[in-house]
Structure 1
Amino acid sequence: MTIYYGMAQWQHPAWVNWLYPASLAAGERISRYSQVFSTVEVGSTFYTKVDDAQLLRWYNSVGEGFKFSFKAPQTVTHRLLERPWLDVQRDWLAFMLSLQPFQAKLGPTMLQFPALCDERALDTILALCDMWTLSTPLSVEVRNLVYFDKAQTESSFLAELSVRNVNRVVMDSRPVFSTEAYCESLVEAQKKKPRVPCHPVATANHPVVRFIGHPELPRNDVWLDQWAAKLSQWLSAGLVPSVFVHSSDNIAAPTLAARLDEKIQVLMPDYQSPLPLPQSQEQVSLW
């Protein structure tokens, strides 16, 4: 029974003297991060092409059990509707080719589509899925509300992903929209994060969860309880989830991940936690 826990980044100023000592060079923090977490979202590939040498440095910095979840380029996803299909295909094939040497440490690659991609984009989304040639999992995140209608469009979408063994990314942004934006981090999160229903459906063997936590940590417990129950069900069914935990400023994201894992341990006594999160900054200072 394995859950891959990760963040949306592997370094944060607030994590110094907690997840890694201040003396550790920035370029070495991914190695220390990988000793605590087993996966990470890599958003840089969404914005620009990451050269092969950089990918190799990341690959060599982590252990064998670690998994990178790269986001597909925006030229494939967010510009899907405005670009010629042949150009989109070219960029998608080039991206897959760049990942091919690193398959041993790949988690679910993410195709993340904007709200502009409605039901008319479904055939094109599925065509991109059909082009996937790597042996590692593929996942799809959609943000148009038609894909959450609990009716024909969503049913068709889920069925088509299932046939292709492609995972749906389950976005849970309920916590950051549960209160008014009374601080800068919540204002920013509510601007940037999609406000979509949370439908925790697994369409393949490696479901992906993106949890966006509230900065008031106790407020998250109601949703963490729900996720502990759902993840326990998935583990019992033999699925291997990836859980990427964010918070409005990402400072407390590691704490939220540890809290979720504790809740799963309560529900599943035989479950062995894969999350050795340091308990205090004092502990880290002794390294």
Structure 2
Amino acid sequence: MIRYGMAQWQHPAWVNWLYPASLPAAERIGRYSQVFSTVEVGSTFYTKVDDAQLLRWYESVGEDFKFSFKAPQTVTHRLLERPWRDVQQDWLAFMLSLQPLQTKLGPIMLQFPAICDERALARILALCDMWTLSAPLSVEVRNLAYFDKSEVESRFLSALSVRGVNRVVMDSRPVFSTDAYCESLVDAQKKKPRVPCHPVATAGHPVVRFIGHPDLPRNEVWLDQWAAKLSQWLSEGLLPSVFVHSSDNIAAPTLAGQLDEKVRALTPNDQSALALPQSQEQASLW
């Protein structure tokens, strides 16, 4: 099956749709987990999340839900500037903090910035070799050398494949398909990487990060492409995780629902993992 998720589990625009306004903020993750089967957690990238908080999140969702945590920025974004021993220690500490959560872990993400070019590959792979948890591991790179369709990318993909590590496929094409004519597009084009979209699966749990355009019909062409690719991966026995964003994330659940409909049209025998409320009016009756 495909696991669909967002980059967050609560948003003001989702009130009275994904969850009622009366639901306390601390309980929204539980309601979110009844709709989506995974979530991309960026808070662990920015700071050390308290073990007790991690456990509360873990206990708030069902047994089949999966968290995809991002590795700390001290490991990824400061990979080249910090002493290697310090990077290793932070990576080991992060893994240790996730050990109690292993039954509800999806692909964990090592997300490297554009400054990490091919010279960083040895360290990236060394971090992969240190991975000891049962959950899948995934790697996102943003330096264009890893998208050259030549020696560097081939070496990178081969190394991930040998290790059973998934490549994160970033698709930011939608938000760069027009000029930034609104605030959310200005922000998205400033923050999201503009990298080629190479939908290559290097292991059994491919990860897709789709950044949708706020003009929803404009996304159709890319949603069609992803429906075809996801259907292919399903036929090959792969288990994709798809994290749907939009420039302001308001429409991200809607885009996920549209993608799921397209996938189900191509693979009618596969059970959908997405249970999106049909309307805000219906959700408000909860």
**TM-score after normalising by structure 1:** 0.99
Verify: 1:129 aligned to 2:128, yes or no: yes
The Cα of 1:67 is off from its aligned counterpart by 0.2
Which residue identity does 1:54 align to in structure 2? Q
Verify: 1:138 aligned to 2:137, yes or no: yes
Superposed, 1:132-281 pairs within 5 Å as 132-281=131-280
For the residue of structure 2 that corresponds to 1:35, the secondary structure is coil
Which residue in 1 is equivalent to 2:98? 99
The Cα of 1:274 is off from its aligned counterpart by 1.4
Distance 1:36 1:154 in 2: 36
Cα-to-partner distance string for 1:99-132 (whole Å, 9 max, x where unaligned): 0111000000000000000000000000000000
Distance 1:105 1:282 in 2: 32
Aligned residues: 286
Cα-to-partner distance string for 1:145-200 (whole Å, 9 max, x where unaligned): 00000000000000000000000000000000000000000000000000000000
Which residue identity does 2:33 align to in structure 1? S
Which residue identity does 1:224 align to in structure 2? L
**TM-score after normalising by structure 2:** 1.00
Which residue in 2 is equivalent to 1:108? 107
Superposed, 1:69-80 pairs within 5 Å as 69-80=68-79
Superposed, 1:13-92 pairs within 5 Å as 13-92=12-91
The Cα of 1:285 is off from its aligned counterpart by 1.3
The Cα of 1:268 is off from its aligned counterpart by 1.0
Distance 2:114 2:249 in 1: 24
The Cα of 1:269 is off from its aligned counterpart by 1.4
Distance 1:39 1:272 in 2: 16
Which residue in 1 is equivalent to 2:8? 9
Which residue in 2 is equivalent to 1:283? 282
Which residue identity does 1:10 align to in structure 2? W
Which residue identity does 1:258 align to in structure 2? G
Distance 1:156 1:16 in 2: 46
Distance 1:276 1:129 in 2: 34
For the residue of structure 1 that corresponds to 2:34, the secondary structure is helix
Distance 2:59 2:25 in 1: 16
Cα-to-partner distance string for 1:19-67 (whole Å, 9 max, x where unaligned): 0000000000000000000000100000000011000000000000000
Which residue identity does 1:227 align to in structure 2? W
Distance 1:101 1:71 in 2: 16
Which residue identity does 1:118 align to in structure 2? D
Distance 1:148 1:164 in 2: 19
Distance 1:54 1:196 in 2: 34
Superposition RMSD on alpha carbons, in Å? 0.4
Which residue identity does 2:35 align to in structure 1? V
Distance 1:109 1:278 in 2: 28
Distance 1:160 1:228 in 2: 27
Distance 1:73 1:169 in 2: 16
Which residue identity does 1:60 align to in structure 2? E
* Structure 2: 5+ residue stretches without partners: none
Distance 1:264 1:134 in 2: 31
Query: Which consecutive aligned stretches of 4+ in structure 1 deviate over 2 angstroms post-superposition?
Result: none
Distance 1:89 1:213 in 2: 35
For the residue of structure 2 that corresponds to 1:185, the secondary structure is helix
Distance 2:76 2:284 in 1: 43
Q: Share of identical aligned residues, percent?
A: 85
The Cα of 1:271 is off from its aligned counterpart by 1.6
For the residue of structure 1 that corresponds to 2:75, the secondary structure is coil
Distance 2:272 2:158 in 1: 32
